[in-house]
Homo-oligomer: A and B are copies of this chain.
Amino acid sequence: MFPRNVWYVAALARELCATPLARRILGERLVLFRTASGKAVALADRCPHRQLPLARGRVLGEHIQCGYHGAQFNADGNCVLVPGQGEIPDHCTVRSYPMRESQGFAWIWMGDAGRELDTGITGIGSFLERGRWGTLDSYIHIACNYELINDNLADITHTEFVHPTTLGNESMRAARGSAEPADVPQFEASLVAGGMDFHLSLTGTRPAPSFVNAFNRVHGAGAADTLDFRLDFSFRAPSFWVFSPAVRASGTTDGREGIGSSGLILITPEDTSTSHYFHKICQDYAPDSEAETRYWLDETCRAFDEDKVVLEAQQLNLKPDDGDARSRVSFRGDWMGFQVRKLVRAMQAAEAAEHPPTGAP
C-alpha cells in the first residue's frame, strides 16, 4: 500500500521538543519528542502496560514517562523504570523508529529494520544542499490520499483555475503536453534515478501573478511587461517534490536581474485517505531578506490552502470502487501525473516482491 523502505518526513524539526507530539504516519500512531540532549525520538504511542498514549505523558531528560503509572521508556523504546518496583517486566517495550534530522526536517524510517543504515534520505535531499534554504517552512494536514497530492503537483495546468491570484494563469497551459496552438512550448521530462525532472521555458510571456508581483517588488512597480519564465521541478518517489520557478525580463540586458525561488514539498501519508504536507521555501535574489522569502511562503501557502479545499472535496467524491483513485477520463495535461504514478507503482511492486504475503512459498 505505502512504500515503506524510504525516509519520510515525520515533522518539521522545530515541532519536536519536550512536549510530546502525537502523530499518525502510514497508519501507525506515534509519539514524537526531543530529549534533553536534543535527540529526536519516535515511539509507538501506546504504553504496553495500560495502553495510554505516551503522548499523554511527559519527557524527563532522555526518557518519556507514561502519564498513567509513571513507567519510563528510553529512546530505544525500552522501559527503564517502573516506579515502586525494582525489576522491569519482560517485553515491556514499545517500537522505536529510526530518525534523522537534516535541513530542518525530522525524517523517520518506517521500513524494514536495518535497511535504513544504507538508505539515504530521498534524492530530493540534494536540492537541500544546493539552495540557500533558510528557516521558513510550513505544515498543513490534507484529508486525501497522498497520490492525489502527487497528481495535483504533477499537473501544473490546474493552477490557472485553482490559483488564479497567485501561481496560475493561461501561461501554464503549456503544461498540457500537446497544447493548441501547436507551437506553444511544452514541458520536457527526463527520467532520473528515483524520479523525474521536468523543465519548461517560456519567453515573452505574462507569468502568473506571484511571479510578476515578485519581479515588480524588486525592480519597481510596472517593471515587468513581458517576462521570460522558467520552471524546473523534480519528483522523487514516492512523494517528494521541489519546484524552482524563475522569471527575468525578456530580451534585456539592462541589469534587471532575474529572480528565482525554490519550494520543497514533502508528503507523508498519514493513512490511506489523509496526508501530512511539509513545505520549505527559499529565494535566490535576496538571500538575506526574510521579507522576500516570507513573500514566497505567503504566496505558496495561500495556494496550498486552495489545493487543500479541492483535494479534500475530490477525496470525498471518490466512489469506493475507484481502486487506486485513478480517474476514468484523462486530459493531455495528465501525462506528467501518469509518469509519477508509474514510478510509485514500480516502487510498490518492488517492495511487494521482497515481502511475499505470509504463506507464500
Contacts and interface: CB of A to CB of B under 8 A. Distances in A.
A173 interface: yes
A161 B84 contact: no
Given A83-B173, A173-B84, A327-B51, A69 B29 contact: no
Given A68-B162, A69-B157, A71-B331, A314 B85 contact: no
B53 A313 contact: yes
A317 B29 contact: yes
B180 A85 contact: yes
Nearest to A66: B161
Contacts of A180: 84-86
A68 B29 contact: no
B50 A327 contact: yes
B83 A160 contact: yes
A317 B158 contact: no
Contacts of A158: 68-69
A56 interface: yes
Nearest to A175: B84
B313 A92 contact: no
Contact of A53 (B46, B179, B317, B328): B317
Q: Which of the four size classes fits the interface of chain A?
A: 35 or more
B52 A314 contact: yes
Given A157-B69, A160-B70, A331-B69, A314 B50 contact: yes
B48 A329 contact: yes
A45 B91 contact: no
Interface string A10-49: 0000000000000000000100000000000000011011
Nearest to A172: B84
A85 B332 CA distance: 7
B48 A161 contact: no
Interface string A150-165: 0100010110111000
Contacts of A84: 157, 173, 175-176, 179-180, 332-333
A82 interface: yes
A329 B88 CA distance: 10
Given A68-B158, A160-B70, A176 B330 contact: no
Given A84-B332, A85-B179, 6 more contacts: A52-B317, A56-B310, A69-B157, A69-B331, A86-B180, A90-B329
28 contacts: A45-B317, A46-B317, A48-B328, A49-B327, A50-B327, A52-B313, A53-B313, A53-B317, A56-B310, A65-B161, A67-B310, A68-B161, A68-B162, A69-B333, A70-B157, A71-B331, A83-B161, A84-B176, A85-B178, A85-B180, A85-B332, A85-B333, A86-B180, A89-B329, A89-B330, A89-B331, A90-B329, A92-B329
Closest 4 A-B residue pairs measured CB to CB? Answer: A84-B176, A84-B173, A48-B329, A70-B161
